[in-house]
Structure 1
Amino acid sequence: MMNTILIAITISACLISVVLLGMRLRLLLPDNQMTPDTKETVKLAMGLVATMTALLLGLLVSSAKSAYDTTRDEVIAMAAKVSYLDGLLTAYGAEASNARALLRAGIETAVRGMWPERRAEGVRLAPDAQTGHALYAAIQELTPQDELQRGLKAQAAGLAVELRQLRYLLLVQSVSSISRPLLWVVVSWLLMIFLSFSVLAPSNATARAALIAAALSVSGAIFLILEFDRPFSGVMQIPSDPIKNAVGQVLK
């Protein structure tokens, strides 16, 4: 699995190296290459590239954050549906105890797959078809004795289907929402921008510190993009508390 921290550190190191290289290159350039007109031309060209880079970075962050928020909302919705389904089965009566046990087993399997205890196991979003079918069958096998139980059974069957749909939706949406070629194009533009800015910048500690701070900032933005693209792993993974709390309520 891709290590986003290592990638961010590598990009930071590359950008900082480019800054130092540019400042060194400035000392080697002849005076006729550093005329005011030349500097102005380079500033205009790099200003255009910097604007495009800023727009693309903003779009990438927005896209990744939107996908992350959608997945988080689906996890919260799943937790709410689990709690509601368990409440319906509890209200139905003792006959639904088998369905409740299957519900708990299915959700526990889902939690272990989405938030594995050991990182080497990897995230597994594919739903357990056998447990899902067994839960739905257990609900369908209930024999209502009155209108209340008939209504509870119908609602429980509908919720079981919705839970399966949410699991498959999470699986389908697990595909990366970020265009990796586009991301590396942005990184290449950043290298070009920082090289040109460092060539034009004065050779003093203040300018060097400002450029290095900017390099760290854009590396942080790329780190966020990569982290938002991994909602179930990494530093900013979606918390499992809502689902685990729901599991704790089942058969409590």
Structure 2
Amino acid sequence: MEVGAVAAMRYVKDGIRAARLVMRHTQHTLLVGEAASDFAISMGLPGPTNLSSPDSMEKWNKWKENGCQPNFWKNVVPVNSCGPHHPKDVSSLEELTEVTCSSSNHLEALASNSHHISLHNHDTISMAAIDKTGYIAVGTSTNGATFKIPGRVGDGPIAGSSAYADSEVGACGATGDGDVMMRFLPCYQVVENMRLGMEPKLAAKDAITRIARKYPDFVGAVFAVDKNGLHAGACHGWTFQYSVRSPDMEDVQVFTVLP
């Protein structure tokens, strides 16, 4: 039940180490933004550092030239530019409230941006480890959704969403459309399923199915491992792979999970 996380942190490359420092040296769970960067640097991590690469700058320039499309805005104007953005057909806060409460379509409200998520623009890394005494730890690190709105925080630093562990039960890691998945805390669900007696395969499948019932177009996956090392994965919208290494294995083994 020890947790540390950082979000929207800039200028510091090693987010997972920063999160561990939050866990080990503060009584907080989550630090964000420039203050998270300041904390990480003050605790000895390298920075401030320019984290842009030639590839990322080229991708960003092409995106700007394409009118900042695709993006994660909705119900705003202008549609085909980089902003600033304003609510569509709403001139006051009162009208915005009225539109939101009375006119919004429920299915539109549930629409996700999963079309932005693919094997080619994803960099989430989630890892679980069981030590010789049976203690279980899990961590997740990601740059977040490509072309996200500045300030966006996805499921990566949210305990129970992208990662969760209980040494009495097991652990889970997740990846995919974090803006949707974080609404379900899928990794918490996986661990609780295993606590209730489900094997990892069924526990993972149940958590993914709960999301798919509400968001049939979402893309995502979870892995589950119990305290005895039994593992499995479940996914929706793509073919998912995860790897395993144990002391009795000569090398890492990759497992493929079909949707």
Q: TM-score, normalised by structure 1?
A: 0.20
Is the strand fraction higher in 1 or 2?
2
Q: Using CA pairs under 8 Å that are at least 6 residues apart, name the structure with larger relative contact order, 1 or 2.
A: 1
Is the helix fraction higher in 1 or 2?
1
Whichever of the two has the greater Rg, that structure is 1
